[in-house]
């Protein structure tokens, strides 16, 4: 890039001439990247005229960690760990998307049994609730409702305890992996999930009591950050942002993956596309997720927790000590990994943030030739200027919170 081009970006026009010839004084202010309400390291360059935002330019990349580049140097199993770190509030949903993509590349989708599918769905939905709880807590905190944050983290803690119970890790579990799951469920798992599901509906009602009919909350959110359905689709918004704008679209329904077609659930949609609608959509989604968790728990089939194909999943420990062949498989798997045939797949899943897509290109080697992640937050953040331009400065925080971005996924 030329020197003058770079300099041009730093030039700040502080007075502009309107179309009718009137000269208006504007001020350019910087918001972030170190700002408590940008949910990470988002920087916004805001041009304001009085209290009104004339122009908003998001500046991202402060958390760019080169995950796509790093994945090219890892085997397929190692690259799984990187996916946890993208949307760090919903690692299991990332694992699920990645695992489905690798399984599709390997062509072993039919080998995934119902037990694996049910556990995956159950965990993905618990993770969705956990992610939405962090969103709700921080969103409410941004708008001044402090106590909601504490309640939300109380319930999220129970979900993290469940993950700790089965995997030993609270957040970056990597529990869902290509070929199945890392380990079998523990005996205490069922009870812990039931402990959570038995109280969560009441707790959800508590949040509703605190916010849904709260006049202050309604004043801050209703009619704020409006996004039309047409714009939402054109700008690539997905997930609750798209559904808040009254578009009935959920990848779990449209392209059912991992056995979602076996579960009953509804897709909540908003009507106006404002912050309040997106709030309600996520609140109702948590209820639907709980519904799915209950169904998965009741109908949990028995079965092995990973595929029996020794080229993809390691053989059980008792075989390794007794069988030469199993030992060789184990050794080959952890030194070389598996080699999918040359080809490319793009797998969409519905993460808590929206459409999470994994595009993996294989050249027949044990490492992905290219892994591209279509981060939901990345595309959703693109609509932020549409929501806030022409609105008041104080609504920026409400709009950012309602998009529910995770900068780890935006910058990757």
Q: What residues line the site for another protein (CB under 8 A)?
A: 1, 3, 6-7, 9-10, 60-61, 64, 66, 68-70, 72-73, 104-105, 107, 233-236, 238, 247, 249, 254-255, 343-346, 348, 355, 357, 359, 361, 369-370, 372, 374, 378-379, 381-382, 411-412
Q: Give me the least distance between CB of 343 and another protein, in Å please.
A: 5
How far is C-alpha 55 from the chain's CA centre? 28
Query: From the CB of 77, what's the least distance to another protein, in Å?
Result: 18
> What's the count of helices (H) and strands (E) in the chain, helices before strands?
18, 10
Which residue, 210 or 233, is less far from another protein as judged by CB?
A: 233
Burial of 245 (0-12, 13-18, 19+ CB in 10 A): buried
Nearer to another protein, 238 or 289 (CB): 238
Distance, in Å, from the CA atom of 218 to the CA atom of 277, rounded to the nearest integer, reads 10
In whole angstroms, the minimum distance from the beta carbon of 303 to another protein comes to 25
Strand stretches in 116-240, DSSP E: 176-177, 180-181
CB-nearer residue toward another protein: 66 or 301:
66
Q: How far is the CB of 7 from another protein (least distance, A)?
A: 6
Which residue's structure tokens are 């709700």? 136
Shortest Cβ 411–another protein spacing (Å): 6
- Cβ at position 311, least distance to another protein in Å: 18
User: Which CB atom, from 82 or from 140, has the smaller least distance to another protein?
Assistant: 82
CA distance 367 to 339: 8
DSSP-assigned letters across all residues of 312-376: TSPPPHHHHHH-HHHHHHHHHHHHT---PPSEEEEEEEEETTEEEEEEEEE-SSSS-SEEEEE-H
Q: What DSSP assignment string belongs to 189-218?
A: HHHHHHHHHHHHHHHHHHHHHHHTT-HHHH
- How many whole angstroms separate alpha carbon 131 and alpha carbon 129? 5
CA-CA distances (angstroms) from residue 348 to 141, 239, 345, 355, 363? 32, 12, 10, 6, 21
Alpha-carbon dihedral of residues 335, 341, 347, 353, nearest 10 degrees? 20
Smaller CB separation from another protein, 203 or 253: 253
- Residue 47 CB, nearest distance to another protein (Å)? 15
Nearer to another protein by Cβ, of 147 and 230: the residue is 230
Residue number with CB closer to another protein (140 or 232): 232
CB of 25 to another protein, least distance (A): 25
Shortest distance (Å) from residue 102 CB to another protein:
12
| Choice between 137 and 225, CB closer to another protein | 225
Crossing angle for the helix pair 187-211 and 114-142, to the nearest 10 degrees:
30
CB closer to another protein, 69 vs 317: 69
Q: Please, what is the end-to-end C-alpha distance for the chain in angstroms?
A: 23
Paired with 354 in beta bridges are 351
Strand partners, 46: 29, 56
Closest distance of CB 59 from another protein, Å: 9
Between 67 and 176, name the residue whose CB sits nearer to another protein: 67
């Amino acid at each position: 890039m030329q020197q003058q081009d770079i300099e041009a970006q730093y030039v700040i026009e502080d007075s502009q001439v309107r179309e009718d010839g009137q000269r208006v004084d504007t001020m350019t202010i910087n918001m972030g990247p170190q700002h408590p309400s940008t949910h990470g390291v988002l920087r916004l360059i805001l041009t304001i005229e009085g209290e009104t935002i004339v122009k908003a330019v998001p500046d991202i990349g402060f958390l760019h960690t080169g995950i796509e580049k790093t994945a090219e140097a890892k085997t397929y199993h190692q690259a799984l760990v990187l996916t946890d770190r993208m949307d760090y509030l919903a690692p299991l949903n990332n694992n699920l998307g990645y695992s489905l993509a690798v399984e599709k590349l390997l062509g072993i989708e039919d080998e995934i049994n119902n037990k694996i599918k049910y556990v995956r769905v159950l965990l993905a939905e618990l993770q969705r609730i956990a992610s939405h709880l962090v969103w709700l807590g921080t969103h409410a905190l941004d708008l001044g409702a402090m106590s909601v944050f504490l309640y939300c983290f109380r319930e999220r803690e129970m979900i993290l305890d469940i993950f700790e119970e089965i995997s030993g890790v609270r957040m970056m579990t990597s529990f869902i992996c290509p070929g199945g799951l890392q380990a079998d469920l523990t005996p205490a798992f069922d009870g812990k999930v039931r402990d959570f599901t038995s109280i969560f509906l009441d707790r959800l009602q508590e949040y509703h009591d605190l916010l849904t009919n709260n006049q202050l909350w309604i004043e801050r959110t209703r009619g704020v950050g409006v996004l039309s359905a047409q714009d939402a689709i054109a700008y690539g918004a997905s997930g609750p942002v798209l559904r808040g704008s009254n578009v009935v679209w959920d990848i779990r329904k449209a392209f059912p993956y991992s056995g979602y077609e076996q579960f009953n659930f509804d897709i909540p949609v908003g009507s106006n596309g404002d912050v309040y609608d997106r709030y309600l959509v996520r609140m109702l989604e948590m209820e639907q997720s709980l519904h799915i968790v209950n169904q998965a728990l009741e109908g949990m089939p028995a079965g092995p927790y990973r595929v029996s194909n020794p080229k993809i999943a390691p053989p059980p420990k008792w075989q390794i000590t007794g069988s030469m062949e199993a030992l060789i498989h184990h050794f080959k798997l952890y030194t070389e990994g598996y080699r999918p045939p040359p080809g490319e797949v793009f797998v969409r899943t519905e993460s808590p943030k929206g459409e999470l897509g994994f595009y993996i290109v294989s050249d027949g080697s044990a490492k992905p030739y290219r892994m591209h992640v279509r981060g939901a937050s990345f595309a959703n953040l693109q609509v932020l200027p549409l929501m806030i331009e022409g609105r008041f400065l104080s609504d920026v925080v409400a709009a950012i919170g309602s998009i529910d971005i995770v900068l780890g996924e935006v910058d990757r």
